[in-house]
Chains A and B, each alone.
Chain A
Amino acid sequence: MKPHILLLLLTLAPLGTMAQTRISGQVTDQAGEGLTGANIYLEGTYDGTTSNLEGRFVLESSETGEQVLRVEYIGYKGFRKPMALEGGTIELARITLKEELNELTAVTITAGTFEAGDKKKSIALSSIDMVTTDGSSGDVYGALQALPGTTTVGESGRLFVKGGDSRESKTFIDGTLVYVPYSSSTPNASVRGRFSPFMFSGMMFSTGGYSAEFGQALSSVLSLQTNAMPVEDQLNISLLTVGAELGGTKTWDKASVSTAVSYNNLTPYMRTVPQYRKWEKEPEMLSGDVSFRLKTGKSGLLKLYATANRSNLTTLEESLLEPGTAFPYKLVNDNYFANASWTGEVGKNWILTTGFSYTHNLDKVRMDSLQFDETLRGSHAKVVLKHRINDRIRILAGSEWYSLSFGVAFPGTETRSKASYLKNTLTGFLESEIYASSRFITRVGLRYEYSDYLKGSSLAPRISTAYKLGEAGQVSLAYGWFFQDPDHEYLLYSPELEFERADHLTLNYLLNRDNRMLRTELYVKNYKNLVRYGRSQGQEYALINNTGDGYAYGMDLFWRDKQSIKNGEYWISYSYINAERDYLDYPEQAVPSFSSKHNVSLVYKHWFERLRSMLGTSYHYSSPRYYNNPNAPEFNAERTKPYQSLNMNWSLLLKQNVILYFTVSNILGYEQEFGRSYAAVPGPDGSYASKPILPEAKRWFLVGCFITLSRDSSINQLDKIN
C-alpha cells in the first residue's frame, strides 16, 4: 500500500496540483491544561508540527487520501486518528492525552521503606553515604543506624529495628539470603557487616510492612543489589592502619571477573591505641572473594559471587566467679558465602529473577571451662516472575526454598556430645500492584510458608497503599502479618515450636521537594507466639513454648536537606520507640534491653571544592536502655548511661586515582557503657558479681589510602612521561 502512495506522490509532485489540508486542534492533559511541545504529525510523512503554549497546533499538509494523525508527548500515551485528507480545513475536537504511568513520576509505596539507587527519586542512602556517614569506617549496618526506626546497641553493632531484636532483621544480596551477615565476635563485643558498601549500587531497607516477596523476618529487610557490569579493567590497592587489600577487575565485551584478597590484623593498632578490652591475640582476618558477571541475550545478567573468610581472636575475659583472675576466650571463625543470580526478560513484559545462595559458618570457641563448635549451613533458592499486564497492573509470583542445618559440638568432652537439627522451609508468594491512577497505588500480597521441622505452615496477608497528595507529598499505609522461625538455640532444644509472629501497621507521610525530604512515620507492631521458657536445674530451656508476646509503637522523623547549604547537606533523624515484651525467661512484661525510647542522629557532610575533600560528621544519641540486675528486686529495671557519640571522617581526593581517608569515632570521648554483665551463679555472699559492658576502646581511628589503577590513568601517566 505504502509504495503506491509514495509512487503516486512522486508522480503527482511535479504537477504541483496538490491540495493543502489544514488540520488544527488543541492537545491537553486530562485536567484540560494545554500541553506545550507535543509532537503532531502524519504517520509515514514528513508533515508535522509542535503544539504552542496553549497546546494549540495547525498542521498543514499536501498529502491526500487516508492518513493517520499522531500526537506524542513525553510522559503521556500517544494518540492516533485515521482521517481522510481532501484539502480545506479540518477542525479537530480537543485531543486529551492520558498520562502514562512512569516509574519516575508515579506514586510509590513508601510506608516503612528507604530505597536508594541511581534512578530512585527518594534516595535515602547511597554506598558513598555509607562510607562517609558514620565513624564505623564503611560498615553497611553502622550507616543504617543513622536512619530512623533503628536503635544503636553498642555491645552488638547489629540492626535493631522498631523495638525488634536483631535476629528479626534479614539481609538479602541480589535477592538471596545471607544467613550470617555479621562478623563473628565474643559476647558483648560489637560486630560489623561482612560486606563492603562499595559492592552495592542499590538498596532497599524496609523497617516494616514489606512486600510478600520477603519472609522469615519479623522486623526488617535489607535487600542489597550488587553493582552491574564493571566497564574498566582495574587494579585496586587499599592500605589501612589495620590491614591491606588487593583487588582487580578484568572486563570483556559481555563478561567481567573481579577478585580481591585482604588481610587485616589489629595487633599493631590495638597495641598503640589504648584499649578497654584485654587481648591475648588481637583480631586477625584473611579473606578473599571473586565475582563474575555475564550478559546473556539482550537483557539478561548473570552474577556469581563467592567469598571465603577466616578470622581469629583471643580475649582475656575478667572472671566474675573468681575476682581478679581472667580467662582466655578464643574464637576462630570460618565463613564461606556464595551466591548466583540471573535476571532477564523472558518475553515481552515478563521478567524472571532466579537466585541461589549458600552460607557455611563455623565458630570455634575455646575457653578453659568450655569448648564448642557451632556449625551453620544454609541454602536459599528463589524464583520470582514479574509480569506487567498493562501500565496499571503488575503481578509478581514466586517461590523459595530455605534449608538450614545448625549444630553444636563439644569436642573437648569425653563423649564428644553433639546436637544438631535440619529444617527445610518452602514458600510461595503472590502479589499484585494496581494503579488506580498515577496518584494512587494498592499492593496486595499473600505469602505462604511451610516448615518441615516445625511441621506447620503460615499464611501471611500483606496490603499497602500510597496516595500522592500533590506534586511533592504523599501518604502511604501498610498492614501485614510477618512470620519467622524461632532462633537456632531454641529449635535445637525443641521442634515442638511454632512460627513467631508480628503484625505491622504503618502510616507514612513523605514530602520530597527540591532536594529536601521530610519523612514521618507512625507505626504499631504486635508480637505473638514468641518463644518463652523457664529455667530449672540441669536444663537450660525448661518448658519451652510459644506463649510469649509483646508490642512496639512509635514515631520516626527524617529530614534530609541537600539544598540549603552550598556544597553541604545534612540530615536529622529521630525515632521514638515504645516497646515491651514478655518472652524468653522474662518473669513479666518489660522493656527489652535492646530498646531505647529516644534515638537521634545528626549527619552533616561538606564538600570542600578547593581541598577536594569531603568532610562527614555525625552525632548519635540514644536514651538509656534497661538491663536486668539479678541482685535487684525488679526485673530489667537498671538503666544504662545514655549513648552519645560524635564521629568524623575526612576523604581527600589526592590524585585522580588516590583517595586518602581518615575517620575517628567518639571524638569527644563520651563515656559509653552498655549495662553490666552478671555472674551466672551468686557468690558466697549471695549476690551476683558483675562487671560493666564497655566498648573495645574509647575511640576508634582509621587511616586508609585507596589507589585505583586503570588503563585510563595509565594513559595519563604515559602522557606525563612524554
Chain B
Amino acid sequence: MLISTLVMGGDETYYQKMGETLSGFSTCTSVEDYQNLANKFRVIANVETEEWLPLYYEAQCYIMISFMNGLSAQEKDAYLEKASSILDQMNEMAPHEAEIKVLEAFYLTGSLVVNPPQRAMNTTPLIHSAIAKALAMEPNNPRAIFLRISNEMGTASYFGEDTEPYCAQARELLQNWDSYELRSPIHPNWGKEEVEGIVNSCGQ
C-alpha cells in the first residue's frame, strides 16, 4: 500500500515535470534554449533511471542544435556525439522501441547534413535501415511513415520523378494522424506539422 502510493506519487511528479518541460520546446529558438531544455530533461533522466522518454527528448534537443546556424562542423559533431551516446543508452533500455529508431534516423540525418559529400555514401544506408527497423517494429508509427515518405519523396524530386504518389501517401498519413493512439501524453507526438508542410507543398 505504502509502496504503491510511493510509485504513484513518483509517477505523478514525473508526468508533471515531463509535461512542464515538454512545453519548453515551443519557445526554443537558440542553441542556449535547447541546451537549457536538454539540461532539464537530463535532470529528470537522472531521477527516472528506468524511463527512456527524458533521454529521448534530451537527445532530440542536441539533434535540433546540430541543425542551427552559426555552429562549426566540429561543434555540431560534438552535440551529435552527445545525442549518439544517449541513443546508445536508450537502445539498451528499450531495444524494440520504434520511436527510438525514428530518432536515430533523425540523428543520422543531422550527421549527414554536417558534411553531405563526405558522409552521404556511408550514412544514407544507415538512415534507410533505421527507418526500416522502426517500421518493422511498429508499421503504423506515423513518424516512421513520415520519414519514409519524406525521404523517398526527396529522392524522387531530386531525380525529377513524379512525386504525386508520395503526396497521396502524405495526405493519407495526415488524415489518419489523429487516429494514432498515443501511449501517454508525454510520448513523442511531433510530425503532424511537417506532414502538413508536405501536403501543402503538394499544392492541395
Q: Which residues of A contact B (CB under 8 A)?
A: 3, 6-7, 10, 36-39, 41, 43-50, 72, 74-75, 102, 104-105, 118-119, 121, 123, 126-128, 201, 227, 230-232, 514-515, 607, 612, 655-656, 710-712, 715-716, 719-720, 722
A716-B155 contact given A39-B42, A44-B46, A105-B74, CB 8 Å threshold = yes
Let me know if A41 and B43 touch, CB within 8 A: yes
Q: Is the pair B6, A3 in contact by a Cβ cutoff of 8 Å? A: yes
Nearest neighbor of A722 in chain B, beta-carbon distance: B165
A232 and B46 in contact, given A104-B78, A126-B118, A722-B165 (Cβ under 8 angstroms): no
Taking CB atoms, residues of chain A closer than 8 Å to B5 are: 10
Does the CB pair A232–B125 fall under 8 Å?
yes
Q: How many angstroms between the C-alpha atoms of A74 and B77 in the bound complex?
A: 12
Say how far A446's CB is from chain B's closest CB, in angstroms: 34
B9→A72 contact, CB < 8 A:
no
Docked pose: A39 CA to B32 CA in angstroms = 12
- Which are the 3 A-B pairs with shortest beta-carbon distances? A48-B43, A39-B39, A37-B35
Counting CB contacts under 8 A, is B81 at the interface?
yes
Question: 17 A–B contact pairs at CB < 8 A?
Answer: A3-B6, A39-B42, A41-B46, A45-B47, A46-B44, A50-B39, A104-B74, A119-B77, A127-B121, A231-B126, A232-B128, A612-B159, A655-B159, A711-B132, A712-B128, A716-B155, A716-B156
Cβ of B141 under 8 Å from chain A: no
* B interface with A by C-beta (< 8 Å): 2, 5-6, 9-10, 13, 17, 31-32, 35-36, 38-40, 42-44, 46-47, 72-74, 77-79, 81-82, 117-119, 121-122, 125-126, 128-129, 132, 152, 155-156, 158-159, 161, 165
* B residues in contact with A607, CB < 8 Å: 117
Is the CB–CB distance between A612 and B158 below 8 Å? Answer: yes
- Which residues on B sit within 8 Å (CB–CB) of A7? 2, 6
Q: Which residue of A lies closest to B160 (CB)?
A: A612
Provide the bound-state CA to CA distance between A712 and B147, in Å.
14
| B32 and A719 contact, CB distance less than 8 A | no
With a cutoff of 8 Å between Cβ atoms, the chain B residues found around residue A49 in the complex are: 39
Q: Are B158 and A719 in contact (CB under 8 A)?
A: no
CA distance A230 to B81 in the complex (A): 21
CB distance A46 to B47 under 8 Å? yes
Query: How many angstroms from the CA of A147 to the CA of B166 in the assembled complex?
Result: 46
The minimal Cβ–Cβ distance linking A377 to chain B, given in whole angstroms, is 35
Measured CA separation A118–B114 after assembly (Å) = 11
CB distance from A100 to the nearest CB of B (A): 11
Is A104 a contact partner of B81 (Cβ separation < 8 A)? yes
Q: Number of A-B pairs whose CB atoms are under 8 Å?
A: 101
Contacts of B6 in A (CB 8 A): 3, 6-7, 10
With known contacts A104-B78, A719-B152, A48–B40 Cβ distance under 8 A? yes
| Complex: A10 Cα to B3 Cα, angstroms | 12
The answer for the CA separation of A655 and B156 in the assembled complex, in Å, is 9
CB-based contact B74/A37 at 8 Å: no
B32 near A37: Cβ-Cβ < 8 Å: yes
B47 touches A72 (CB 8 A): no
Taking each of B44, B79, B152, which has the highest tally of chain A beta carbons within 10 Å of its own beta carbon?
A: B152
Q: Report chain A residues within 8 Å CB of B9.
A: 6, 10
A710 to B124, alpha carbons, bound, how many Å? 12
Partner of A712, one of B35, B44, B46, B132: B132
A48 to B43, CA, bound (A): 7
Which residues from B are CB-within-8-Å of A50?
35-36, 39-40
Assembled-state Cα–Cα distance A7/B2 (Å): 9
- A201, B122: Cβ atoms closer than 8 Å: yes
Q: Bound complex: CA of A10 vs CA of B165, how far in Å?
A: 56
Additional pairs, 13, CB under 8 Å, beyond known A50-B36, A656-B158: A3-B6, A10-B5, A37-B32, A39-B39, A39-B42, A44-B47, A46-B47, A74-B79, A102-B78, A231-B126, A232-B128, A514-B72, A655-B159
Contact residue among B38, B78, B118, B156 (Cβ-Cβ distance under 8 Å from A123): B118
Query: From residue B148, how far is it (CB to closest CB) to chain A in Å?
Result: 9
A104-B77 in contact given A6-B10, A46-B13, A74-B82 (Cβ < 8 Å): yes
A-chain residues with CB within 8 Å of residue B79 when the two chains form the complex: 74
**CB pair A43 B129 closer than 8 Å:** no
Partner of A231, one of B36, B38, B74, B129: B129
* Nearest CB of A to B101, in Å: 12
Is A43 a contact partner of B128 (Cβ separation < 8 A)?
no
Question: Residues of B contacting A719 with CB < 8 Å?
Answer: 152, 165
A70, closest chain B residue (CB): B46
Residues on B with beta carbons closer than 8 Å to the beta carbon of A39: 38-39, 42-43
State whether B36 touches A515 (Cβ < 8 A). no
Complexed CA–CA distance, A47 and B73 (Å): 33
**A722–B35 alpha-carbon span in the complex (Å):** 45
Contact of B46 among A43, A123, A126, A227 (CB under 8 A): A43
Residues of B within 8 A of A230 (CB): 125
* Chain B residues, Cβ within 8 Å of A3: 6
Hey, which chain A residues are within 8 Å of B82, CB to CB?
Answer: 74
CB–CB B43/A105 < 8 A: no
With a cutoff of 8 Å between Cβ atoms, the chain B residues found around residue A656 in the complex are 155, 158-159
A74 touches B78 (CB 8 A): yes
In the complex, chain A residues whose CB is within 8 Å of the CB of B31 = 37
Residues in A whose Cβ lies below 8 Å from that of B44: 46
